[in-house]
């Protein structure tokens, strides 16, 4: 994704394109490394640096017309913790992954659904074999 600052804009851009370029530049600036790595926290000689996975997306569109010009835009950002780096007093660095309980629960539900579907399928096959 490319971004431009107001000084980089070309004179042939429409007002809508200039506004879109400004929005993209602001979003790109704000979604930097400070969004992925949190502020370091120090306690008892150990420094902890939280880490997150940040994803962003968006779109801008429109149409020109003398009678009915239109335009719209949308954007979204998702940030999830993935873990933390712990730097001990001796300088050793350790990675501690975050546990996503929702993913664990979803995995269990999917597994239970598959087991139930297989059991139901086998049960139906047995009934058909007995009735034949």
Q: What is the pLDDT of residue 72?
A: 76
Query: What pLDDT does 66 receive?
Result: 67
At residue 2, the pLDDT reads 47
pLDDT at residue 1 tops 50: no
Q: What angle do CA 49, 52, 55 make, to 5 degrees?
A: 150
Which two structure tokens, joined as six digits, stand for 83? 């873990």
Q: What is the pLDDT of residues 83-122, one digit of tens each?
A: 999 999 999 999 999 988 899 999 999 999 999 999 999 9
Q: Which helix (H) or strand (E) holds 111?
A: helix 101-131
**What pLDDT is attached to residue 126?**
86
Q: What is the pLDDT of residue 59?
A: 75
pLDDT (0 to 100) of residue 34: 67
pLDDT tens digits, residue range 3-20? 445 555 555 777 767 777
Dihedral sign of CA atoms 55, 74, 58, 25 in order: negative
Tens-place pLDDT, residues 28-77: 777 766 678 889 999 999 999 999 988 877 777 777 766 777 777 777 78
Q: Would you kindly state where each structural domain of the chain is located, as residue ranges?
A: 33-57+74-98, 99-132
Interatomic CA distance for residues 59 and 99, integer angstroms: 32
For residue 75, what pLDDT is reported?
75
Q: 104-107 — which CB contacts under 8 Å span 24+ positions?
A: none
């Amino acid at each position: 994704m490319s971004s431009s600052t107001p000084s980089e804009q070309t004179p042939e851009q429409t007002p809508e394109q200039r506004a879109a370029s400004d929005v993209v530049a602001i979003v790109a600036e704000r979604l930097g490394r400070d969004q992925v790595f949190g502020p370091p926290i120090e306690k008892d000689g150990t420094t902890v640096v939280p880490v997150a996975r940040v994803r962003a997306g968006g779109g801008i569109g429109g149409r020109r017309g003398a009678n009915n010009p239109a335009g719209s835009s949308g954007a979204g950002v998702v940030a999830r913790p993935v873990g933390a780096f712990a730097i001990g007093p001796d300088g050793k660095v350790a990675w501690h992954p975050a546990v996503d309980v929702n993913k664990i629960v979803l995995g269990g539900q999917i597994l239970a659904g598959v087991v139930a579907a297989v059991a139901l399928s086998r049960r139906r096959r047995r009934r058909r074999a007995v009735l034949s």
